[in-house]
A and B are shown apart, each in its own frame.
Chain A
Amino acid sequence: MSKNILSLHNISYSYHTIQGETKALKDISFDLQQGEFLAIVGPSGCGKTTLLSIIAGLLTPQSGTIVLPHNSKDMRSSIGYMLQRDHLFSWRTIYQNAILGLEIQNKLSDRTKAYVEHLLEEYELADFSDKYPDQLSGGMKQRVALIRTLALNPDILLLDEPFSALDYQTRLNVSDDICKRIRKAGKTVILITHDLSEAISLSDRILVLSKRPSTIKYELNIELDNEHRHPVRSRTIPEFGKYFNILWEELQNESDSIN
């Protein structure tokens, strides 16, 4: 039925300084299925971003393997990585920012340009194509950053707290909006977040990481129907509280054992 699109086997990673070695990740293994929305939560500094960087191919794991079963495309182009901040370039127009990845990978063609224009249209940014980033709101800029990632047509999206730079109200709206669009596009997603409510309302499955060296401590399947997949509406149903408490307990144990 659903196929694994990504498998991690015993991934470990350490940072080295003259003062010594810091183990960030230890024996992380999980599978990701086509179309799945996976959230990863964990105490601060537990190596969540390190994990995404390894999956994105920016860091090489010290041990373990990553398997992309459909290896039709190379790793870089099958994975899109969206960072915490939008990092739009102030000297480029919105359109020029959106095609940055295509430019870098030499994939600019009439077809890809049309796709970017289509995305801008769909994300209600077409009127802003020729504007510059400082003329856009925070939420709009985040949407442009998403289009920049989607323009390369990745199979898997890695989102590293993509909404954390936004104010709370914008954050709720933008996370709802963006995640709906990503689901509609049938992308597979790994979302890193601090926000338990965000994780519950958006994802199909949540992995709780332990403190450093991080291992997968707990795995929780989230079963919500589509109507309740909304950062505010999801709070009205009883399962939300149940899920929230489970996650809270798990994380609380982690922070207790730190102290």
Chain B
Amino acid sequence: MNQTVLTNQELFVKSHKRHHFLVGFYRIMLFVAFLTLWEYSSVTGLIDSFFFSSPSGIISCIYRLATQEELFFHISTTLFETTVSFLLVMFVSLLTATLLWYSDYFSEILEPYLVILNSLPKSALAPLLIVWLGTGTKTIIIAGISVAIFGSIISVYTGFKQTDKDKIMLIETLGGNRIDAFVKLILPSALPQLISIAKINIGLSLVGVIIGEFLAARRGLGYLIIYGSQVFKLDMVISSILILCLIAFAFYKIIQFFEHNQKKKNHAPL
């Protein structure tokens, strides 16, 4: 009897491992097939490599950018601007949402303004920001913030408001005030939501920073893309976009790492 249980367990583990291996394998295969098809089409002239580039063209372009055109300077500029605007978005929206939660009066007054500002297409603000603030790093960071901030405030505030009213009453029965409720209850129970909001914010900050760099920068990946398209160096444009993909992926993974840690720590089901 014990033997069969063990074997079934082993079978399960085996099929589980096999499943994971196959998923990973097909993921890589899909990528390789895509690259092969792309390279083949551009070499045989099915697509015009001037417009669509090719994997080998991109590799040599990235190599050239890295050795001759300070690629890392552009990457680190974009990374820096995105990180700063992400951190500021998180900080400001936590602070504002806390105030909104603390005072119902305050949140009732501000609600329509937040909704309007959130539904506004934020890229429309960019030209105004350039006139107000010039074309420096500050403008780019503000552009990054402007895209994410209002939605973030609303989501964090909603997260805070979702807490069970009876649990707040529990804090009151134990003699706690609103600050106790916030520290002991609201903040820890909203933590999973804060992490998903962070995931969205880092993506939006990146979008804002790239929009900013399109319009007002002399450095950064957004600048490389706009510059590349103006001088018809489409290799450069596609290479920059690929690097952006990698950056977005890396940011996502970093936050996912925090998410896993938090879930493990808080004993929530993964």
Contact = CB atoms under 8 A, between A and B. Distances in A.
A1 interface: no
A104 B176 contact: yes
A90 B192 CA distance: 13
Given A58-B172, A100-B174, A89 B188 contact: yes
B130 to A, nearest CB: 45
Contacts of A169: none
Interface in A115-156: 132, 134, 148-149, 152
Contacts of A87: 164, 166-167, 170
Given A77-B175, A104-B175, A105-B175, A91 B267 contact: yes
A100 B188 CA distance: 14
A81 interface: yes
Contact of A83 (B170, B175, B176, B266): B170
B184 interface: yes
A43 interface: no
B48 interface: no
A101 interface: yes
Interface string B142-172: 0000000000000000000000101101111
B44 interface: no
A91 B183 CA distance: 13
A103 interface: yes
A152 B266 contact: no
A100 B267 contact: no
Contacts of A91: 188-189, 191, 266-268
B266 A58 contact: no
A132 B166 contact: no
B185 interface: yes
Contacts of A100: 174, 184
Contacts of B173: 56, 58, 80-83, 149
Contacts of B188: 89, 91
Contacts of B164: 87
A91 B175 CA distance: 21
Contacts of A90: 266-268
Contacts of A83: 166, 169-170, 173
B174 A105 contact: yes
Interface in A78-97: 80-85, 87, 89-91
Contacts of B70: none
Contacts of A80: 173
A9 interface: no
Given A81-B173, A91-B189, A104 B184 contact: yes
Contacts of A76: 175
A242 to B, nearest CB: 36
B10 interface: no
A90 B267 CA distance: 8
Contacts of B267: 90-91, 132, 134
Given A83-B166, A91-B188, A101 B175 contact: yes
Nearest to B171: A104
Contacts of A77: 175
Given A91-B266, A101-B174, A148-B174, A58 B185 contact: no
Interface in B240-270: 266-268
A82 B166 CA distance: 12
Contacts of B185: 89
Contacts of B268: 90-91
A85 B170 CA distance: 10
B180 interface: yes
Q: Find the residue from B173, B267, B268 having the highest chain A CB count within 10 A.
A: B173
A250 B115 CA distance: 54
A100 B180 CA distance: 10
Contacts of A134: 267
Nearest to A93: B267
Nearest to A77: B175
Contacts of B266: 90-91
Contacts of A82: 173
A58 B169 contact: yes
A90 B188 CA distance: 10
Most B CB within 10 A of own CB, among A85, A89, A105: A89
Nearest to A103: B184
Contacts of A84: 166
24 contacts: A58-B169, A58-B172, A80-B173, A82-B173, A83-B169, A83-B170, A87-B164, A87-B166, A89-B185, A89-B188, A90-B266, A90-B267, A90-B268, A91-B188, A91-B189, A91-B267, A100-B184, A101-B175, A104-B176, A104-B180, A105-B174, A134-B267, A148-B174, A152-B175
Given A89-B188, A104-B180, 6 more contacts: A82-B173, A89-B167, A89-B189, A90-B266, A104-B175, A132-B267
In the complex, the 7 A-B pairs of residues with the closest C-beta atoms, listed nearest first: A81-B173, A101-B174, A104-B176, A91-B266, A132-B267, A76-B175, A87-B170
